[in-house]
């Protein structure tokens, strides 16, 4: 397998992982609450963040009302 193919596969795997996390957290994201795995999902736009601080920053910057 070439280096390029291996790199492509890694990127794809990462994208699929993020996709699964987003789906699994749909219920939690509907309430904008923390999830056990430590992954945070924005309730407004569905963006997945890995830290509470990042989520708060995201809400403040992107969804300031």
Residues engaged in binding Zn ion (CB under 5 A): 42, 44-45, 47, 62
CB of 64 to Zn ion, least distance (A): 11
Residue nearest to Zn ion (CB): 42
Q: H-helix or E-strand containing 52? A: helix 52-62
CB of 41 to Zn ion, least distance (A): 9
Show Cβ contacts of residue 49 under 8 Å, excluding neighbours closer than 6 positions. 39, 40, 41, 42, 55, 58
Q: Which is nearer to Zn ion, 24 or 58 (CB)?
A: 58
CB of 34 to Zn ion, least distance (A): 15
Q: What is the C-alpha separation between 35 and 5, in angstroms, rounded?
A: 34
């Amino acid at each position: 397998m070439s280096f390029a193919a291996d790199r492509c596969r890694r990127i794809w795997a990462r994208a699929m992982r993020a996709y699964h996390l987003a789906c699994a957290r749909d219920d939690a994201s509907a309430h904008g609450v923390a999830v056990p795995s430590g992954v945070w999902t924005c309730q407004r736009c569905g963006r997945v963040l890995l830290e509470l601080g990042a989520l708060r920053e995201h809400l403040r910057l992107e969804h300031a009302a």
